[in-house]
Amino acid sequence: MKNIPLYIDNQHYQGSGQSFKNYNPATGEAIHQVSGTSPDDFEKAIESAKRGFKVWSAMSPTERGRILHKASQILRERNDELARLETLDAGKPIREALEVDVISGADCLEYYAGIAASLHGDHIQLGGDFAYTRREPLGICAGIGAWNYPIQIACWKAAPALACGNVMIFKPAELTPLTALKLGEIFTEAGLPDGVFNVIQGDAVVGQMMTGHPDIAKVSITGEVGTGKAVMAASATTLKKVTLELGGKSPIIVFDDADLDEAVFGAMLGNFYTQGEICSNGTRVFVHESVKKAFMEKLIQHTKALKVGDPSDPDTQVGALISKDHFEKVMQYISLGQEQGAELACGGKQVEVKGCEGGYFVEPTIFVAPEDNLRIVEEEIFGPVMTVLTFKEEEEVLQRANNTPFGLAAGVFTKDLRKAHRMVAGLEAGMCWINTFNINPVEIPFGGYKQSGIGRENGLAAIEHYTQIKTVYVAMDKMVNPF
Ligand code: NDP
């Protein structure tokens, strides 16, 4: 079985921590042995990052941008190979990985490469005296990834961090260790100095090494709400800055004047893409009671036509869930929905896929829930499980949509412009879509309200989270004795 090492100082590095196996979700087979990170290995990564920071932060922003841009080009050139690796590791359909995962990572590197040289402080005139601000990097940033979009998450964290002159130690999720290592190799090929992007491997214990280390200035994590809270609490001991990209239970609201085809496609995109393993998914679909019947007919017809299958088959539209544990969790929620009185309108069963007998496949599943207080309506399932609810009034649906501790995303389908903007103004969510869903180009800030997160990734907003402002007051007159 091939070994997956750590990546420190631009080189493969055999960690001395507990090694672990990496599985193909489509077959359940172990495919790699992954090096674990011991506390000594982690110290090595920190020392390397300190050296890297000295070099990288002293380089001109234009030079930094050039290297990030080169890395984005290599990602695009190797899209096919990297997409196949992501599909092998994460179980997602190859048609998605080829179109989205690597390319959105490359887009992010290209975007921040382009703005690196434009980052600057301000000049503030104070009569004769003046002040200026320096926009400085934070230092060593820790990136901790989730398993659903491994290379995209690594790029979304590394690109703004590095563009601002920081260095990063990145830990992918234990379940998806492969493409972060490739990203490290690509950065090396692009000319990144040693120690600027180190990759360590391991589970939550390794994550805790990062959140507990005094030399780490900032932690950016993508994960569950509970993990985000643990990371924030641990980071507080040394008052690290945090960016938390956490879970959700986002609403999609379909008004009676909506284009029902668009609304159906939006709901499907927001529930079944990547087998439903997307944080911003609109898993509570509120449909106006007058169009519910027509909406359900179209929704069920299109959902039944989805092809669940071998993720490496280009025709497959719904791939394998990430692991046995996760598969069991999703199946338990499907049972729970039925026990608590939701109507199973479509799907709900495990799928046997020829040639992928040990894989974790679930039919795209649609429930119609009689009320909002069922667990499948309240809790994040992170699988291909949609719940449809009905409403009558605009105010009522707004209140119900906001009645959740999460606040990651929301979608509104209507042809009434004023209603659409009125709704998004009232929705408690960091990312809102009108007449579409789950479209996240890197130019726009992404992140959660309420317990779905702190900080923003992408867009110019992320710069605020990877820099600190130093103010310099300059006296132009002679200082006099103040006493
Ligand atoms: P987890 O919260 O289980 O893990 C996220 C990462 O944190 C993993 O690398 C994990 O390690 C690590 N980790 C776990 N505990 C700790 C800890 N105490 N200290 C430091 N690191 C820790 O999330 P999943 O990987 O299961 O991903 C699914 C979740 O991610 C869902 O809730 C989803 O909504 C959310 N998500 C949010 C997104 C957003 O942008 N808002 C985007 C994508 C997903 P390991 O797993 O290796 O043990």
Per-residue pLDDT tens digits of the chain, which is 483 residues long? 899 999 999 999 999 999 999 999 999 999 999 999 999 999 999 999 999 999 999 999 999 999 999 999 999 999 999 999 999 999 999 999 999 999 999 999 999 999 999 999 999 999 999 999 999 999 999 999 999 999 999 999 999 999 999 999 999 999 999 999 999 999 999 999 999 999 999 999 999 999 999 999 999 999 999 999 999 999 999 999 999 999 999 999 999 999 999 999 999 999 999 999 999 999 999 999 999 999 999 999 999 999 999 999 999 999 999 999 999 999 999 999 999 999 999 999 999 999 999 999 999 999 999 999 999 999 999 999 999 999 999 999 999 999 999 999 999 999 999 999 999 999 999 999 999 999 999 999 999 999 999 999 999 999 999 999 999 999 999 999 999
Name 27's Cβ contacts closer than 8 Å, sequence gap at least 6: 356, 357, 358, 359
Q: Which residues pair with 17 in a beta bridge?
A: 36
Q: Which of 157, 218, 249, 292 is catalytic?
A: 157
Length of the chain measured in residues: 483
CA distance 276 to 282: 10
Closest CA to 375 of 344, 335, 348: 335
127 burial level (CB within 10 Å; 0-12, 13-18, 19+):
exposed
Tell me, yes or no, if 470 is annotated catalytic.
Answer: no
Rounded to the nearest angstrom, the distance between the alpha carbon of 208 and the centre of ligand 1 is 12
Nearest residue (by CA) to ligand 1, atom 46, is: 173
Q: Is position 392 annotated as part of the catalytic site? A: no
96 catalytically annotated: no
Token representation of residue 51? 């050296």
Of 144, 120, 152, 140, nearest to 37 by C-alpha is 144
Which residue in 54, 294, 48, 64 sits closest to 159, CA to CA? 64
Tokens matching residue 11? 């080189």
What does residue 172 show for φ and ψ, rounded to 5 degrees? -75, 165
- Report the amino acid identity of residue 319: G
| Contacts with 449 (C-beta within 8 Å, 6 or more apart), sequence order | 407, 408, 428, 429, 430
User: Quick count: other Cβ atoms within 10 Å of Cβ 72?
Assistant: 25
- Give me the sign of the Cα torsion angle 369, 437, 455, 91: positive
Distance of CA 338 to the CA centre of its chain: 30
Locate 165 and state its tokens: 């002159």
pTM of the model: 0.98
> Contact, 3 vs 159, CB < 8 A?
no
Catalytic residue among 155, 279, 356, 432: 279
CA of 225 to the centre of ligand 1 (A): 8
Q: Does 164 qualify as catalytic in the annotation? A: no
Ligand 1 is surrounded, with C-beta below 6 A, by 144-148, 171, 173-174, 203-204, 207-208, 211, 221-224, 227, 230-231, 245-248, 279, 380, 382, 408, 448, 453
Give distance in angstroms: CA of 122 to centre of ligand 1: 37
Whether 171 and 143 have beta carbons less than 8 Å apart is answered as yes
Q: Whose C-alpha lies nearest to ligand 1, atom 14?
A: 204
3-state secondary structure at position 328: helix
